[in-house]
Amino acid sequence: MLAHCFAKPGAWADNPGDHEYPVVKVGDAGKLFAFLGSSGVGVKCGSTREEADVWLLRYPDEATVMPPIARSGWNDLAFGGAIDAEELFGAVDDSYATVVSKLPQR
């Protein structure tokens, strides 16, 4: 998953809390698009909480609301469960696209 995140144009790792796994950011302003962990990845799953809740309905055992930024449409998606790898990669791709679309055009 880390290699997939870093393959995105402008992606870079940050570890502001000195955690075992980094967060992945994009752009000069360092906007987050993925929180990596040993058991899953946190991604922006929609522009609103309602859009992100679709993941919770589809995968009640593998998708959870990501506090404290849940209201902004972020979820944690678990590795190794009902969500297959391609769908996880797609969720990262969508999170990246959503975040990049809000970056300054320069």
The CATH number for 90's domain is 3.90.1150.30
Instruction: Look at the chain and report how many structural domains it folds into.
Output: 1
Judge whether 12 lies within some domain.
yes
Domain that holds residue 44: 2-101
Judge whether 53 lies within some domain.
yes
Judge whether 80 lies within some domain.
yes
pLDDT in tens, 18-71: 778 889 999 888 999 999 989 999 999 988 889 999 999 999 999 999 887 666
Say which residue, 50 or 72, is predicted with more confidence.
Answer: 50
Judge whether 106 lies within some domain.
no
Report which of 29, 31, 38, 50 is spatially closest to residue 95, judged by C-alpha positions. Answer: 31
Are 33 and 44 within 8 A, CB to CB?
A: yes
- Spatial distance between the Cα atoms of 37 and 84, rounded to a whole number of angstroms: 17
pTM exceeds cut of 0.85: yes
